[in-house]
Amino acid sequence: MKKILGFTFVLMTLGFMSCSPSPVGRWIEPTGGTEEQGFVLNQDGSATSINMGFLELIKWEKKGDLLILNGRNLGSVKREFVDTMKIEKLTKTELTLSHAGYPVTYLKDCK
């Protein structure tokens, strides 16, 4: 009986852990246009931009309520950057980030 209860507890704990929101995934900014724009945050800490030709994302990390993106600007002034944004909201389907008090909301794309 103890083994069954222990196993049930482990399954319930794993179930609750999987229900917590994660920044991992494909995030799209609703722009109202026909072309998607956003980024992908991979489980291994790598990142890629979506339809932002001037911006190459390389890696990401979450520290407390901050999301830190590392990448390269490929525009006229080529340079590496680190962008730190506050996570205002994170659910299974929505991510709101703010930078200098300006919030931007992204929706999770399950493609």
Q: Do the beta carbons of residue 74 and residue 56 sit within 8 Å? A: yes
Tens of pLDDT, residue by residue over 42-79, are 999 999 999 988 899 999 999 999 999 999 999 888 89
pLDDT band at residue 35 under the 50/70/90 scheme: confident
Segment (H or E) for 2: helix 2-19
Q: Establish if 13 belongs to a structural domain.
A: no
56 within some domain: yes
Report how many domains make up the chain: 1
Residue 7 lies in a domain: no
Within-domain flag for 85: yes
DSSP 3-state assignment of 48? strand
Structural domain including 41 reads: 22-109
In a domain, 2, yes or no: no
Q: How many Cα neighbours within 13 Å face the side chain of 39?
A: 25
On whether residue 14 sits in a domain, the answer given is no
Q: How many Cα atoms occupy the beta-carbon half-sphere of 60 within 13 Å?
A: 21
Q: Is pLDDT of 11 > 70?
A: no
CA–CA distances in Å: residue 60 to residues 2, 56, 79, 94, 108: 42, 12, 17, 18, 17
Check residue 33 and give its pLDDT: 76
For residue 11, is it within any domain? no
Residue 47 sits in a domain whose CATH number is: 2.40.128.280
